[in-house]
A and B are shown apart, each in its own frame.
Chain A
């Protein structure tokens, strides 16, 4: 092998190594630049190939959008918000130009400058005028600037098994409206025997804290409050929290109506509901289609009541924009989000198409809009409903009485602390509630200190 050949081979090896290094370090894969007046934006939210109907609908939407917006090209990616990969994608230039988030994410993302300020471009989004202001507030920073748009929401209610209600001598059309009634219903359902549990709740991986927050809201309390200067303080150590924990303790230990297995999370409880062995649990309306599809049940078997008490926890999802986006990309992204998700005029077309498939229409939420847009969407949903809307009437009927409150700032950290409180009450019969709350109050205050 002569020296020239050595040089050639070495050059090829070096080039290959450089390419490998470049690929490993990540290149800017998120859409191409703005060439020839055409802007390409990468977006996520494309349903996986296994969800054939949803995927096809999404792809059809992309085609229709590109046809009506000849200067915008959509590069659709699968996936939603995944905290495990978010930072790596952002660091490696792989984060989509327009990315999906849950309501628990925006505060942290804004604080860490991981979302673009879209305030100057909002005049191009007319539907925003009808979006519920409390939902839009989730995407507004402390500086008053807007960093994203909400596209879906839910508020927690009580999902229940209508068949078990009937068998236990309860009226499935009149589900509980107070926690006392929940407790009584849970006792009667548990009394059916054969491994049936009256009520279940989560207590693991932050989901216990999330639900305990909803419990505390429902009994008139809070987990964090803001003073006049905008500073957040813990409000966990309250009578409402004590009452909530007392109910949970009594159902678990006095009535034995919560089963003996604890440290549960969403899939465990949904599985029990899908198996017909669970009477009630706290959830948003979107849980019902999940159970029906996953466990091959029928919509008629399940009902939805409003949250017992006076308030509930609301959450949802939306889209934010890559902090590295150019103004052209932000404008194009806003056009896409508005056309696909905030478009009451397209609702009829969407519902008509979905009505014949297994995509549920007529669940009482999401409810994004107020005013005229809200009325339009509701009327179209009612027209094409393919789920038994009467089963969700108890939820709708009481919705005016139940105030929807959003999640606290630094929600996930606070939920970690409240997970411990929930676990203590559900796994230790002699748990000292006062001490638990005092300790949680201190910890939540420490967490909130960083959110000020």
Chain B
């Protein structure tokens, strides 16, 4: 608004004879505003369409979801306000804590694998002299597969009968494992699928960041007689600190929304060991048709993820 009020008269002063004189003579400010709108009409239309689409498909559902978490709804009759009932029922469900525990466990495991594996891969790829383009493409390939294909492929890997992994263990004379059927292994198995499927993107980000590290620093370190490990520790990691932190936050936000892996591979089993927050939310909404309860769950998730998103914004802003 400030820009408009200041900018408008200035433009009319600068281009007094550019267009026909306003008739009847209205205030110069209004005439200038009209001309500015006219000049940028196409831009405003595109902007308006974008805002409308966002409002309809992003902001409205968020607000509606928040309201639903305080309502009992059947969609046939007007919703009734039930205060905090849905949240009370949510916290009473023993699976609520299980789902959060499992999700945090998944996130922690995903960070160990999903954070370290792409970094190591990126460092290795960066050091390679030959075949770098080919290997970069190979690492990125799983990202291009539809998630459901990835998950079904891994289901075959994990099959306790003719599956690839148990076959490989057999060759090494090791006992077969119950990858998805064991309470201890199932979550780790899901994390491996997720890591494999998503590490391509993170690797590329790290690779780009690595290439942005000034070569002189390495040269200086080399002159000082630093080994590869020391160069990594004293040059690479400090230089990439910011990007590492950002991807860490993005990964936390992403992995906390894990759904497709447990939904397809384990259905939350065995014995609720892989029930995640989104899987439970899905059950509330589409198995029990309890949209109030599901919305309460999504509100809780929104608050938790919002905290991480806020942190991310703060970090990126301070850096910018």
Contact = CB atoms under 8 A, between A and B. Distances in A.
Interface of A: 1, 3, 6, 9, 13, 17, 20-21, 24-25, 83-84, 86-87, 90-91, 108, 112-114, 195, 203-206, 259-263, 265, 323-324, 412-413, 416, 419-420, 423-424, 426-428, 443
B75 A114 contact: yes
24 contacts: A1-B38, A9-B45, A20-B52, A21-B52, A84-B286, A87-B75, A87-B291, A112-B74, A113-B77, A114-B74, A114-B75, A195-B161, A203-B269, A205-B267, A260-B178, A261-B160, A263-B180, A263-B266, A324-B76, A419-B269, A420-B272, A423-B270, A423-B271, A426-B181
A428 B37 contact: no
Contacts of B286: 83-84
Given A21-B52, A203-B269, A259-B161, 18 more contacts: A1-B41, A6-B34, A9-B41, A17-B48, A20-B56, A87-B289, A91-B75, A205-B267, A260-B161, A323-B76, A324-B76, A413-B288, A426-B181, A427-B178, A427-B270, A427-B271, A428-B183, A428-B271
Contact of A112 (B176, B283, B289): B289
A91 B269 CA distance: 33
A261 B176 CA distance: 12
A416 B283 contact: yes
Interface string B264-282: 0111111110000000000
B316 to A, nearest CB: 32
B49 interface: yes
A93 B63 CA distance: 21
B162 interface: yes
Nearest to B179: A261
B287 interface: yes
B38 A17 contact: no
B198 to A, nearest CB: 23
Given A6-B41, A195-B161, A261 B181 contact: yes
Nearest to B45: A13
Given A3-B34, A83-B287, A262 B181 contact: yes
A422 B159 CA distance: 19
B168 to A, nearest CB: 16
A21 B178 CA distance: 51
Interface string B58-93: 000000000000000011110000000000000000
A260 B160 contact: yes
A91 B68 CA distance: 13
Contacts of A265: 267
B138 interface: no
B159 A108 contact: no
Q: How large is the interface on B (under 10, 10 to 19, 20 to 34, 35 or more residues)?
A: 35 or more
A259 B180 CA distance: 14
Nearest to B265: A263
Nearest to A5: B38
B146 to A, nearest CB: 18
B228 to A, nearest CB: 44
A108 B289 contact: yes
Contacts of A108: 289
A261 B182 CA distance: 11
Given A87-B289, A261-B159, A416-B287, A427 B269 contact: yes
Contacts of B288: 412-413
A206 B161 contact: no
Contacts of A91: 75
A113 B73 CA distance: 10
Interface in B1-49: 34, 37-38, 41, 45, 48-49
A113 B77 CA distance: 8
A322 B160 CA distance: 47
B57 interface: yes
A21 B60 CA distance: 12
Nearest to A89: B75
Contacts of A114: 74-76
B56 A21 contact: yes
A315 to B, nearest CB: 16
A83 B289 contact: yes
B180 A17 contact: no
A322 B288 CA distance: 19
Contact of A427 (B37, B41, B74, B183): B183
B74 to A, nearest CB: 4
A-B interface, 9 closest residue pairs, ranked by CB to CB distance from nearest: A204-B267, A112-B74, A91-B75, A427-B270, A260-B160, A1-B38, A423-B269, A90-B75, A205-B267
Contacts of A83: 286-287, 289
A423 B269 CA distance: 7
A423 B285 CA distance: 23
Contacts of B285: 87
Contact of A17 (B52, B74, B267, B291): B52
B208 to A, nearest CB: 38
Interface string B158-190: 011110000000000000101011110000000
A206 B267 CA distance: 9
B267 A420 contact: no
Contacts of A206: 287
Contacts of B76: 90, 112-114, 323-324
Contacts of B160: 260-261
A270 B265 CA distance: 17
A86 B56 CA distance: 20
A262 to B, nearest CB: 5
B7 to A, nearest CB: 19
Contacts of B180: 263
Nearest to B20: A2
B184 to A, nearest CB: 11
Contacts of A21: 52, 56
A374 B180 CA distance: 47
B159 A24 contact: no
Given A17-B48, A260-B161, A413-B288, A424 B271 contact: yes
A183 B122 CA distance: 54
Given A113-B74, A195-B161, A428 B270 contact: yes
A278 to B, nearest CB: 12
Contact of A13 (B48, B159, B271): B48
A3 B33 CA distance: 11
